[in-house]
Structure formats: structure tokens, C-alpha cells
Structure 1
């Protein structure tokens, strides 16, 4: 299925590279339908017309949950394209979108995405972020961060969101630069090692990508 998978050895921090250029998954097609930049087949995404190879990778990482009654959260909703795609893909999911911009919140609420609730949050403020998760009144199977892409905010999300993940729940931090050091989250390494049974950076390559080389994710499975 994939052209190349590489895993760095002898390190507590690992990077895997996946090239999905030769396949089109269901999530790839659904993502392209809504023009989310997560799909390498989107024609005109609102995110600077970017295309990334996330959807095929997510099909592998998340596909086993597709038709299960899960709780799903995306932090950073932009125009709602990915929320629409995830709502269609995860047929029984309760979906929460979290966003700072009131304009984007209203826009996404007007889309009336099935099974989706939009909440205000601020990833720069851990207390506000924690209160937003408290308002959901649930534990999550999947949490994806696609918000500010600022390291301090990403650290806040890892530290706060982890307590709202179920055992075996998945946390993904999107849009890291390929050249970003594996030590970018070093200040939380002990916390990560304690709370996650597996964690890795994943370079999501696709020949059709169009980005600023920011198509790497951090992926963790909660203990």
C-alpha cells in the first residue's frame, strides 16, 4: 500500500515517514469533496490552497473507529471543511470543534454539520482550554490539533487534552515542519512518556502535496 515506511531506531523520540502517493482512500475522497487541506486531492482548499498527505495516513491510524460511536474533537476549525469530512467519515461520532475566532465559529455553525458541536476556546490559555474540554462532558477517542501551530500552544494542548483522552485514545498535533527538531516537545518528554504508550512524529508524504513542508504530525496513543 505504501511506498516507504521508515522508523528511526535507538531513540525515545522517533520519526516515521509514510509515502501514500499511490493510493486514494475513502477519507482522501471525502476530504477532497469538502476541499480540506488534509487531503492531497483537494483542488482549492481555503488554507492557502494547501494539500497534505494526511487522509491516507489517518485511514490507517483511525480507520478502525470509522463506524463506532466515538467522541471526536478537532481544535482549530477554519472554514469547517475537515469537520464536514470527519462527520461524513465517522458515521456514528459525536464531534466537537473548538475555535478562538467567533467569525469562524458562526460560519461553521451555519453549516449545520451533523452530530457536531462548536465551542469557543483559546489554546494560548491552558485554563480556558481546560474549561472548553470540561464543557464537552466526555472523554475522547480522537483529538486533533489544527489550531495555531505555535509550539507553546501545542504544548498546552498536549498537557491539557491528554486528561480528556480515553485509555487507548489518540492525540494528533498537525502541521509541524519537516525540519522541526524532534526535541520540539522535549519540555514535556517525561509527561509524554508517562501518559502515552506509543508516540511518534510522522511525515505524511504525498507526491501531490502543496505546502510549506509543514506536513508532519505528532501522534500519540494514551496509556
Structure 2
């Protein structure tokens, strides 16, 4: 974890709100806190050497893998968003998305797939997918790739800012000549980010592939995810199309991406997890 990443995640919001005296104090303590937390940061695990441990190579239950690797996609997890030095083994309730994933992935797990996860964070879900899809390549994208705690010949971790069209274009669309069989969008969940990620990357999805948006309802239910209360949200766009086959206009959807979506979308399903919604889209 880089010092800049530590500041951005844990202190930037405090610094912006602080008065001059408090800003000076924050600037002094950040390097101290940073080096203390480095001691507690989990070591990077080579999953290629991890395969035969704990019987994970025989695990076919994705929910159990999410739980094992402490992903919030599972039923419970340790709080991975606290300072590393303040983490405890106490479990909190997860999103409970495992059963939805299992429903769509069960018949794909033995295939040779390219799977893109946007918003990989520490890589806990990527590690779970690594063991579930034993023959697949995992592409893990995040705005802070230095947080990623796993490595493997089948995993590639890299930078992308899902709030920036140019970053998506440069770091995903232009970078990879191959398309993906599964794309999981689990990044910032902000209003604009959700829309541009889906409509820009839908053309990078192979025929028959799945595009998944986690916390679909964040811009509808959390003000911090949609500060200007813009409309329509991605949830509203998908529900309108699901029910009436009408694709609402948005300034964040380019005409060619809109046409591509209309010509290639096969189905849209929206489910409610323990707290929030998850959308699973299939391409023709």
C-alpha cells in the first residue's frame, strides 16, 4: 500500500473538512499512522502455491469461497475497510450475493474464461473466483491496485478509474485485445460510474457473457453516491428496459454504445441481497 493510497482512503475526506490547525496535525500524523499500519497489512499470497491447502481445490460452493477469502459478496466477513491496525476477527453480515452468482456460474466453472472484476480492492473476491473457475483468467481492476494482496499466473491486477471514460478506454478497452466472458462491476457505485462502466464495456463482453452490477441501488438510496440527484439512474434505466423495452436517454451514454446495447442485450435480472440489489445482464 502506497502512502498516497493510505491518505486517499483514510484521511483525504477528513483533511478537506479540517481547519488549518487540524490540517497541520493530520499532515504530521499521516506518515506515522502509515508506517504503523504497514506492519498489519496482510502479506501478498501466491495462489498458485495455495491451491492444495485447506481443500479449496475441491470447493464448488462460491458462497463458501467468498466467506473463506473474506469477501463482502459472501454471507459474513471481517471488516476490510478499517485501518489494518484496527481490524478484528469479528464477523459482520455480508451482501449475500453468493447464491445469485452460483445460479449463473454453475455451468461455467470448468470452462476457460476471461473474467474482469472492476473494484477488486484487496482481491478477496478475485481469490474466490480463482478457485471456483479453475481454468479461467482473472483480470482485477481497481483505482488502488497497490492494495491487491494476491498473485498468480492466472490473475492480472491493474489500474483503472471507473469514474473516468478515458481511463476505461485506455486501461481496458484499448489495453486488452480479448473480450471478457464475465464482467463484474463492483467499484465506486456512483451514479455516473455505473452508467459509463456498463455501456462502455458491454461491447467488450463475449456473446452469451454476463455483466454484473453490484449495489445497483446505491445512487437511488444513498445521497453520497448521487450528490446532484441526477436522473435517470442506472437502476431506472434497466428497470424501464426490462419492463417496457425502452432505453432511457442519458448524457453519459454515447450513441454507438447505446446501439450496441440495444442490439445485443438478451436479458436483465435484478435481485435483492441482504442489503442491496445486484443486476445480472446476459448478452445475446
Structure-1-length-normalised TM-score:
0.75
Which residue in 1 is equivalent to 2:169? 130
CA distance in 1, matches of 2:129, 2:79: 16
Is 1:222 the equivalent of 2:283? yes
Is 1:80 the equivalent of 2:123? yes
Matched residue count: 186
Query: Which secondary structure does the structure 1 equivalent of 2:78 belong to?
Result: coil
The alpha-carbon deviation at position 68 of structure 1 amounts to 0.6
The alpha-carbon deviation at position 172 of structure 1 amounts to 0.4
Deviation string 1:93-127 (CA, Å, 9 cap, x unpaired) is: 111011112xxx1231x521451001111111112
Is 1:59 the equivalent of 2:112? no
Deviation string 1:121-173 (CA, Å, 9 cap, x unpaired) is: 11111121022223232111100000010121111111111110001111001
Match runs of 1:29-44 below 5 Å:
29-40=64-75, 42-44=76-78
Contact 2:121/2:147 (CA < 8 Å) preserved in 1? no
RMSD of equivalent CA atoms? 2.3
Deviation string 1:2-48 (CA, Å, 9 cap, x unpaired) is: xxxxxxxxxxxxxxxxxxxxxxx7111111110101011x3414157
Contact 2:163/2:193 (CA < 8 Å) preserved in 1? yes
CA distance in 2, matches of 1:143, 1:67: 17
Unaligned residue ranges in structure 1 (runs of 5+): 1-24
Contact 1:83/1:113 (CA < 8 Å) preserved in 2? no
Unaligned residue ranges in structure 2 (runs of 5+): 1-59, 83-91, 222-232, 239-247
| More strand, by proportion | 1
Contact 2:208/2:282 (CA < 8 Å) preserved in 1? yes
| More helix, by proportion | 2
CA distance in 1, matches of 2:270, 2:77: 27
Which residue in 2 is equivalent to 1:91? 134
- Of structures 1 and 2, the larger Rg is shown by 2
- Identify which of 233, 249, 256 aligns with 1:187: 249
- Identify which of 97, 116, 119 aligns with 2:155: 116
Cα pair distance change 1:159/1:67, threshold 3 Å: same
Deviation string 1:56-100 (CA, Å, 9 cap, x unpaired) is: 110011221101100000000111111111111110111101111
Is 1:203 the equivalent of 2:238? no
